[in-house]
């Protein structure tokens, strides 16, 4: 899942394969060159997509801007080919 945080930056969320018993979801800030983990954001592992958007939105409410919102983005497929 990818979330646009008030059109300022994008948060990626990855859930473990196999369900909540396999670990917690992780969140990271997407950048052009790299992904930066958000190590101090502990995501509950029993939230559905809607509740996860609300949870992350509450954590980043300080970035709120008038007329902007948190939006779910399509999943990006980023493949880099080297030496081609």
| Whole-structure pTM value | 0.74
> Does residue 82 lie within any of the structural domains?
no
Low-confidence ranges of the chain (pLDDT < 70): 19-21, 39, 76-84
Number of domains in the chain: 1
pLDDT in tens, 27-45: 888 877 777 777 678 888 8
Please report where in the chains the tokens 């497929």 appear, as a residue. Answer: 77
> Does residue 32 lie within any of the structural domains?
yes
3-state DSSP helix/strand/coil percent for the chain, to nearest 5?
A: 20, 25, 55
> Does residue 80 lie within any of the structural domains?
no
Residue 24 belongs to what domain range? 2-73
């Amino acid at each position: 899942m990818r979330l646009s945080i008030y059109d300022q930056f994008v948060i990626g969320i990855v859930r473990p394969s196999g369900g909540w018993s396999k670990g917690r979801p992780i969140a990271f800030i997407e950048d052009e060159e790299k992904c930066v983990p958000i190590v101090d954001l502990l995501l509950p592992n029993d939230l559905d997509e809607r509740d996860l958007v609300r949870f992350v939105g509450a954590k980043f409410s300080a970035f709120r801007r008038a007329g902007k919102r948190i939006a779910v983005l399509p999943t990006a497929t980023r493949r880099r080919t080297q030496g081609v």
